[in-house]
Structure 1
Amino acid sequence: MDIRTLQEELVQYSKTIGIDKIGFASASPFIELKERLVRQQELGYQSGFEEPDLDKRTNPELVLPQAKSIIAIALAYPSKLKDAPRSTRSERRGIFCRASWGQDYHDVLRDRLRKLEAFLQERVPTCKVKSMVDTGELSDRAVAERAGIGWSGKNCAIITPEFGSYVYLGEMITDLPFIPDKPIEDNCGTCTKCIDACPTGALIQGGQLDSNKCIAFITQTKGFIADQYREKIGNRLYGCDTCQLVCPENKGKDFHFHEEMEPDPEVVKPVLKPLLSMSNREFKERFGSISGSWRGKKPIQRNAIIALAHYKDQSAIDELKKVLIEDPRPVMRGTAAWAIGKIDGESSQEILLNAKNKEKDQDVLNEIEKGLQLITR
């Protein structure tokens, strides 16, 4: 079959299986990307979640021998929550970022990529393919940019003309010589709204991110959160949307094309206090289907404690006291101690002093001291 005809058929087929945008790129090495990644490593800006082998991240032939081209796909996801529950004084709520709404996007994109693979292998049985989503070797953003899906914005997201940056990305390396699409011209111009709005200054400059300062990364860590970031987290349980929300290219963009991506409001904007006593089984049953659950319940519970402190929720003191006294995990006990001091309720000082007399873990004792210092009386 003529490669151009096959490519056209593949594009048409992609529309029938729920792929919102598809593009093609050469499989030549990403030389400029490697230079940037080396610099990121030197500066200590990487999160540690990335593929550590820079050669694999930037040379498709090391992932799939005799790679000739890469197919990039994008699926648009919702940016607005329908029938969103309101946070009240008695029931304060947290929020998961938009990229964690609905079914885990890894599963959704892998489904689409498997269908593309089957389509190609039915027509060219000898072809070789390798698909990946997010956690694969290649940089989704670099592939999407080369394939003309969108341009790489100053917020370090791919921005598409049609859907803004509210898109999930995936790619497939092939040994078929598809005709490359042209990259899209950068349309950020002189705009710096995302850089100016970043709560922690994680966006160092356009297109450069210090992952260790990024709230989206910080909410996924499992240890104590540094003091200077606790105030910045607010009621975020997982991820951060600030740099997307302020982007002019995202204004008015809200797409509900895929049933799997429709969020359950009670899951993505949950009441905070019940999270503190949730068992592993309960957590998996309620949150296991969304991408924001991948690190387990510990980061979510810790972030819920910080959110209750953010709200200064006096009604949460009893639940936080229970965590401080009974939770076997030092990070939970310590964060609860800090939160109790931050909320500064009538019994806060007594609770913290009693806990101080019984606590053995030095990190928790340090947090108890922080909590006591926050009390104004």
Structure 2
Amino acid sequence: MNAVQLQQSIREFADSIGIDKIGFTTAAPFRELKNRLKRQQELGYQSGFEEKDLEKRTEPALLLDQAESIIAIAIAYPSKMENAPKGKKGERRGMFCRASWGTDYHTVLREKLSLLERFIFQHAPDAKVKSMVDTGELSDRAVAQRAGIGWSAKNCSIITPEFGSYVYLGEMITNIPFAPDEPMEDECGTCTLCLDVCPTGALIQGGQLNAQRCIAFLTQTKTPMPEEFRMEMGNRVYGCDTCQTVCPKNKRKHNLHQSAFQPEVELAKPLLQPILKLSNREFKEKFGHVSGSWRGKNPIQRNVIIALAHFKEESAVPELIAMLAKDPRPVIRGTIAWALGQIGTEEGYTALQAALLNETDKDVLAELQGALNNRKERL
């Protein structure tokens, strides 16, 4: 089987195992991307989760000896939750972004790429391959764009005509010289909705993101949430979909066909207060199979406290007071101090005054004092 026949066979096999889109490109360096990434580093716009070596991020030949081609894949995920539960006073709910619905996409895409690797080895035993999903060195979006999966949009997502931007991406470098597909033309046009509605102004301009201001990134950090972003988070406990949900190209793109990504509604839109009680083991048992669990329970619990403050949920005050007195984590105590100030009950203010007498962490003390000062200003 020659490379042309193998390429067609790979397309057919990919379709048979549930890969929604597949494209091919060369393993040539991503020179334009390298310049953009360097500028992002200089501006301090990167999240810190990326591969720091720009050569590895843009030179496929450094990742696989004799690299000739890259195979890009995309699998669609749903944008719509059927029978979504509604929160109410006393039973407030948070939201995990759509990319955390169902089974962790890293697991699903790695399984698909593994099947694809085996298929290639069956027909080309001497082939060399290196696959990656999300956490690999290469930029998934840059590969997908060059391989014709979709265009690189102003909201920093890949948009496909078939599934909108609701797609997970992965890629495989190989030494087989496949014919490259044509990149797609940009279809964003003059639309700037995603830039206009970004809650924190993280989208600097079309295709440029300051990750340090992006709620999707901020929900994954383990440090105190900067105060300027807290009320902008709303009830998001992991991720943010705003720049996707407003996109006209995503209209009527529901993508309900992948069973692995069907949302479990009590996990995708969970009750907030029960999350505060979860131990590490209980959190892993409940949420461990979804991608939004990868940073552990601490960031999620911090975000839950912020969401309760957003709702000014008075029923949570007794539990927050108990945690303020006993929780060993300064980030959690500091967030609670701020939240009690936002909720604004007398019981909460009394607890803040009491906590001032025993607290030793300077950052928590600053949060306590800030919450009490804000009360004085309101009065």
TM-score (normalised: structure 2): 0.99
Aligned twin of 1:22: 22
Matched, 1:338 2:338: yes
Alignment match, 1:327:
327
What is the CA-CA distance between 1:163 and the residue it aligns to?
Answer: 0.4
Aligned position for 1:57: 57
Structure 1 segments unaligned to the other structure (5+ residues):
none
Aligned equivalent of 2:118: 118
CA drift at 1:354: 0.6
What's the counterpart of residue 91 of structure 1?
Answer: 91
> Once the 2 structures are TM-superposed, how far is the Cα of residue 373 of structure 1 from its aligned partner?
2.4
CA positional deviation for 1:277: 1.6
Task: Give, in whole Å, the separation in 1 of the partners of 2:207 and 2:322.
Answer: 44
Question: Who is 1:288 aligned against?
Answer: 288
Q: CA deviation at 1:143?
A: 0.2
Distance in 1, matches of 2:167 and 2:374, equals 42
For 1:78 and 1:374, the matched residues in 2 are separated by 42
- Equivalents in 1 of 2:159, 2:358: separation in Å? 53
Match of 1:212 in 2: 212
For residue 372 of structure 1, what is the aligned residue in structure 2?
Answer: 372
SS of residue matched to 1:347: helix
Equivalent residue number for residue 353 of structure 2: 353
| C-alpha distance in 1 between matches for 2:276 and 2:367 | 18
Alignment of 1:186-205 (within 5 A): 186-205=186-205
Q: Residue 148 of structure 1 corresponds to which residue in structure 2? A: 148
Matching of residues 108-187 of structure 1 within 5 Å: 108-187=108-187
The question of whether the paired residues in 2 share the 8 Å contact of 1:45 and 1:211 is answered with yes
- Letter of the 1:372 partner, please give it: L
- Aligned residues of 1:276 and 1:323 also touching (Cα < 8 A): no
Q: Secondary structure at the match of 2:116?
A: helix
Question: 1:10 deviation in Å?
Answer: 0.7
Identity across matched positions, percent: 62
CA distance in 2, matches of 1:10, 1:129: 14
Deviation of 1:260 after TM superposition, in Å, equals 1.1
Q: What's the offset of the Cα at 1:374? A: 3.0
Match of 2:31 in 1: 31
* TM-score, normalised with respect to structure 1: 0.99
Where does residue 73 of structure 2 map in the other structure? 73
Q: Residue 75 of structure 1 aligns to a residue in which SS?
A: strand
- Give the whole-Å Cα distance in 2 for the aligned partners of 1:369 and 1:216: 29
Q: Distance in 1 between matches of 2:339 and 2:297?
A: 18
Structure 2 counterpart of 1:185, one-letter code: E
Hey, what's the Cα distance between the residues in 1 that align with 2:348 and 2:333?
14
Please state how far the C-alpha of 1:82 moved relative to its aligned partner. Answer: 1.4
**What's the C-alpha RMSD, in Å, of the aligned pairs?**
0.7
Deviations 1:83-137 (A, max 9, x none): 1111010100100000011100000000100000000000000000000000001
Instruction: Give the Cα separation in 1 of the matches to 2:124 and 2:255.
Output: 34
| Whole-Å separation in 2 of the counterparts to 1:167 and 1:358 | 49
- For residue 346 of structure 1, report the CA deviation from its aligned partner: 2.7
Which aligned pairs between 1:238-277 and structure 2 lie closer than 5 A?
238-277=238-277
Residues 48-89 of structure 1, C-alpha deviation per residue, up to 9 Å, x if partnerless?
000111001000000001100000000000001111111010
Contact 1:78–1:255 (CA under 8 A) maintained in structure 2: yes
Specify the code of the residue in structure 2 equivalent to 1:207. G
How many residues were matched structurally? 377
Q: Is the 8 A contact 1:341 1:373 kept in 2?
A: no
Q: Which stretch shows the higher mean deviation, 365-374 or 85-94?
A: 365-374
